[in-house]
């Protein structure tokens, strides 16, 4: 699993140190860079579309998205009476994309056979002049793989905060067209050509996945909300391959939105795997306020989501 170094320094993987955690026949590999999930395998079969340790992560695969998921239009937002400008790292759309932590080196704070905890102090910077102390715990167990993320405002001013994750489910050799998806979302966010929300609408046609259906040639880069939940407050997205294999992504009540992405605009994953992305707020949330958490100085928030293999 170590992969090879490709010009990044002798013996150094592009995604940094690799932490392997296991429980029975479930194996996950977590990376120092971004505290992300590089590999998740059950009984020898991949559950996510991962990448080699010697490769740079592309298409956001397995990354942790803090302090906002998805896009901020033009990188601009207003907070507590102050106009702020983020760096634009998605040049074609002119957006700030997926937060500030996914390319940083996190510190491995704890390492156990079935769990890895990584921590990061995100210092203030132009566009996000706030201090966050972050902790991400990856764990595997009888109930599958789960992630617990904690953010604490270590500064002296309220901070805007959101988080999300970017796993791509991949079940054997099945392509997106051959996946059956069941997702309990009643509302879809309409969006412009940049993926910035323009409104809300009831799910219908290709976006109505409440009863479960085969995706076929459906193209999705779409945010959903108003999620039905079980008795524990979890929302579940069930994915099954027509040729066999199944998995489910669950998210706690803090995750109010989920993004489905068939990958058509990303050559490395295009229709090969399905992005199922739990989010605590909507795309463009820093600008719109839709779901953004206001973290007071000293306040902490913890969120959880996970992947369970099988039907």
The CATH number covering residue 27 comes to 2.70.98.10
Range of the structural domain that residue 58 is part of:
18-309
Give residue-wise pLDDT tens across range 126-154.
999 999 999 999 999 999 999 999 999 99
Question: CA 203, CA 235: separation in Å to the nearest integer?
Answer: 16
Q: Contact at 8 Å (CB) between 209 and 216? A: no
Q: Is the Cα dihedral 198, 62, 100, 10 positive or negative?
A: negative
* Residue 215, beta-bridge partner list: none
Q: What confidence tier does 238 reach under pLDDT thresholds 50, 70, 90?
A: very high
pLDDT above 80: residue 179: yes
Give residue-wise pLDDT tens across range 54-94.
999 999 999 999 999 999 999 999 999 999 999 999 999 99
**Within 10 A of 52 (CB to CB), how many other CB atoms are there?**
16
Indicate whether 6 belongs to any domain: no
Position 173 scores a pLDDT of 85
Q: Contact at 8 Å (CB) between 18 and 226? A: no
Position 55 scores a pLDDT of 95
Position 244 scores a pLDDT of 83
Indicate whether 136 belongs to any domain: yes
Question: CA 147, CA 164: separation in Å to the nearest integer?
Answer: 11
DSSP state string for 175-223 = -GGGEEEE--EEEEEEE-TTS-EEEEEE--GGG--SS-EE-TT---EEE
Give the least confident one: 2-11, 40-49, 55-64, 239-248: 2-11
Helix (H) or strand (E) holding 285: helix 285-288
- Bond from prior residue into 157 cis (ω within 30 degrees of 0): no
pLDDT averaged over the chain? Answer: 95
> Number of folded domains in the chain?
1
Q: Quick one: what percent of the chain has pLDDT higher than 70? A: 96
Position 19 scores a pLDDT of 98
Position 10 scores a pLDDT of 60
Position 22 scores a pLDDT of 98
Indicate whether 137 belongs to any domain: yes
């Amino acid at each position: 699993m170590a992969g090879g170094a490709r010009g990044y320094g002798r013996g150094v993987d592009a995604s940094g140190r690799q932490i392997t955690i296991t429980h029975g026949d479930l194996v996950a590999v977590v990376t120092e860079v971004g505290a992300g999930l590089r590999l998740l395998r059950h009984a020898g079969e991949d559950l996510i579309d991962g990448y080699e340790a010697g490769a740079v992560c592309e298409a956001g695969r397995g990354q942790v998205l803090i302090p906002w998921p998805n896009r901020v239009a033009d990188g601009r937002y207003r907070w507590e009476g102050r106009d702020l400008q983020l760096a634009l790292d998605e040049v074609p759309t002119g957006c700030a994309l997926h937060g500030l932590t996914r390319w940083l080196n996190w510190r491995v704070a704890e390492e156990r056979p079935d769990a890895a905890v990584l921590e990061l102090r995100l210092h203030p910077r132009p566009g996000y002049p706030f201090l966050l102390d972050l902790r991400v715990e990856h764990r595997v167990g009888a109930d599958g793989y789960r992630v617990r993320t904690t953010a604490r405002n270590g500064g002296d001013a309220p901070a805007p905060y959101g988080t999300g994750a970017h796993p791509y489910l991949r079940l054997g050799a099945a392509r997106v067209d051959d996946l059956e998806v069941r997702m309990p979302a009643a509302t879809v966010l309409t969006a412009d050509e940049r993926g910035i929300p323009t409104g809300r609408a009831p799910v219908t046609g290709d976006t109505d996945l409440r009863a479960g259906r085969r995706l076929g040639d459906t193209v999705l880069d779409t945010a959903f909300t108003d999620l039905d939940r079980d008795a524990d407050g979890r929302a579940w997205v069930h994915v099954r391959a027509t040729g066999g294999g199944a998995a489910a992504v669950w998210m706690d009540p803090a995750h109010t939105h989920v993004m489905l992405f068939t990958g058509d605009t990303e050559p490395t994953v295009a229709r090969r795997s399905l992005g199922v992305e739990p989010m605590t707020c909507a795309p463009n949330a820093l600008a719109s306020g839709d779901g953004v958490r206001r973290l007071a100085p000293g306040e902490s928030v913890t969120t959880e989501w996970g992947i369970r293999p099988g039907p």
